[in-house]
Amino acid sequence: MSTPALTPAAPARPGDGATPSRPAPSSPRFTPSASRQTPPPGLLPAIQSLISIIVIAVFIVTFTVQPFRIPSGSMEPTLLIGDFLLVDKEITSDAADSLFLPSATIHRGDVVVFHFPVNPTIHLVKRVVGIPGDRLRLRDGHVYVNGLRLDEPYAIYRPTGPDNFRDNFPRLQNADPAIESRWWMQMRKLIDDGELIIPANHYFVLGDNRNDSEDSRYWGFVPRENIVGRPLLVYFSLRQPGSNEYVLPRAAGISLTHPPNDSSTLRFARWDRILHIIR
């Protein structure tokens, strides 16, 4: 069956009683209009999305958390060279404690990131062992606060030569060559009965690797305003090329990491430290 062809109607002749024929209305043909088409994504939406991401990232870095990398071994075994940290910056605010983040109050035993008092452009990470009002001293490398010895399971003491200034702090008989001269003069005024008195809004910090750490013993207190935040976790960790992984003495019964496996192609990272909570 073929489709019937449409032919134009013959015009009416005068007197035949017929009225002129009108063409039958045809169904309108629906063609998409160029003005109604959805424009493809352009440059403006992409810029808006990028700006939103930047604003969120700046807010997070400025007010909440910030990444840092550990460059030295002064905090071993708690923190290793090559660890990448997320640092909670809420510790520097005076706001009420968060339900999701640690307390903003600085406690004895907290690990903190701060601006180096001698050179504020440098960030350091150490552990708080003395808070304002404490009377502090070290005897044979162990910390005593207000007459009581601190329980410090995180501290290690690698074998080194004797150092009376380091191990029996504060000591006025002789100064260590590495001590800051300004701190040496200030420290002499704050010693009472062999104990160092920590002033208001200042903190005394030490590295967990006690015999291999330049800390408050050598350059003084950390002012409250210098503290950036408290490390939350290790979000990534890189092994150091050509170096052996640090392992705690067997007497302690704890192994920090496994030695790298030469057959592994993924040995560049310490995978077991990812998302490690810092305490």
Catalytic residue numbers read: 74, 126
Give dist(CA 52, CA 58) in Å, integer: 10
Beta-strand relationship, 142-145 and 148-149: antiparallel
What type of residue sits at position 27?
S
What type of residue sits at position 8?
P
Torsion of CA 249, 252, 254, 257, to 10 degrees: -20
Judged on CB neighbours under 10 Å (0-12, 13-18, 19+), 247 is middle
Give dist(CA 248, CA 235) in Å, integer: 22
Give dist(CA 187, CA 15) in Å, integer: 129
Taking CA atoms, 63 is separated from 60, 92, 248, 260, in Å, by: 6, 9, 36, 37
Contacts of 2-11 with C-beta under 8 Å, sequence gap 24+, read none
Percent of the chain as helix, strand, coil, to the nearest 5: 20, 25, 55
